[in-house]
Amino acid sequence: MARINWYETENNDERTTAAGTLLTRLAYTDTTTGLAWANTVERIRLAMAAGRTLNKTDPNSIFAQTNWNSDTIWNTSSVTEQQKVYDLIKLPTCTIQRPQPAATQNSKSKGVELQLTYNPLRNWTLKLTGSKDQASYTNVAPQYDAWLAVRMPVWTSLGVSDIPDFVDPNNSRAYSLKSSGRGTASPTWRTRKTRMATPVRRPTSTTSCSRRWRPRRPWKAPSRPRSASITSPC
């Protein structure tokens, strides 16, 4: 006996987890750098409103407290302050704390299955099966391009003009809040590196000696900003 089965299935807008990393990294400009930038701006504005200055020689300098850029000193986790923070990055309040969005895709699969059954004896059955399948995906994660088109004009225009550039004397970190980080070189990136190696080969082993020269980092890389993991009322 022979049995042939042809099939074709199609799903539209099915949820896919394959684009999770893609969407997460797309949101880094908001979740990692955007919130940190906005919280820093708001903390400095709070400090200035309280009479603090960015002059490191001033007794009322904001730098008198080494952890000035944290909720411990200038708290931005209240409902009022969080509204100001999200206004700076032009998103509805608490958008980032909500469940992560997912992406969709369209899938289509088709194939043929063959089954041959033969009984050489009454209690003896031989069965042979085979199949040929083909699956394809289209319109994968259109949400990526849609969100990028919405946020890119915002990301390239974020900035404040009321806070001048300054250097934190506590850790020599340079701040420029006129933009949220667009087009700026990484302050921890070493632009020059030199390495010399000289392998010594022996009959049974090889020994290699090397020496590397590179300039020191302009400033020590800071730990993950507290503002990126603040406790908000959302």
Count of other CB atoms within 10 angstroms of residue 79: 11
Alpha-carbon span 39 to 75, nearest angstrom:
9
**Number of domains within the chain:** 1
Residue 175 resides in a domain = yes
Let me know if residue 165 belongs to a domain: yes
Alpha helical stretches, state H, 1-160? 20-26, 28, 35-49, 79-88, 142-155
d(CA 121, CA 24): 61
**pLDDT(30) > 90:** no
Average pLDDT over residues 21-42: 88
Dihedral pair phi/psi, residue 51, rounded to 5°: 95, 5
16 to 25, 105, 158: CA distances (angstroms): 16, 6, 32
Specify if 81 maps to a domain.
yes
Q: From 234, 231, 182, 200, select the one nearest 33 (Cα to Cα).
A: 182
Beta bridge partners of residue 119, listed in sequence order = none
Residue 48 pLDDT class (50, 70, 90 cuts): very high
Instruction: Please state the φ and ψ torsions of residue 222, each to the nearest 5 degrees.
Output: -75, 160
Domain-located, residue 45? yes
What would the mean pLDDT of 180-188 be, rounded to a whole number?
51
Decide if pLDDT at 101 tops 90.
Answer: no
pLDDT band at 214 (very low <50, low <70, confident <90, very high): low
Of 70, 52, 68, 72, nearest to 169 (Cα)?
68
Range of the domain at 71: 28-95+159-216
The answer to whether residue 124 is domain-embedded is no
At 1 the pLDDT is 85
- pLDDT at 102 > cutoff 50: yes
Q: Give domain status of residue 170, yes or no.
A: yes
**Model's pTM, two decimal places?**
0.65
Give the separation between CA 75 and CA 92, rounded to whole angstroms: 20
Q: What are the C-alpha distances in Å from 230 to residues 32, 50, 89, 177, 197?
A: 12, 22, 16, 20, 46
Amino acid at 63: F
In the chain, DSSP assigns E strands to 2-16, 103-121, 124-138, 166-168, 173-175, 194-201, 206-213
In a domain, 11, yes or no: no
Is 151 a member of any domain? no
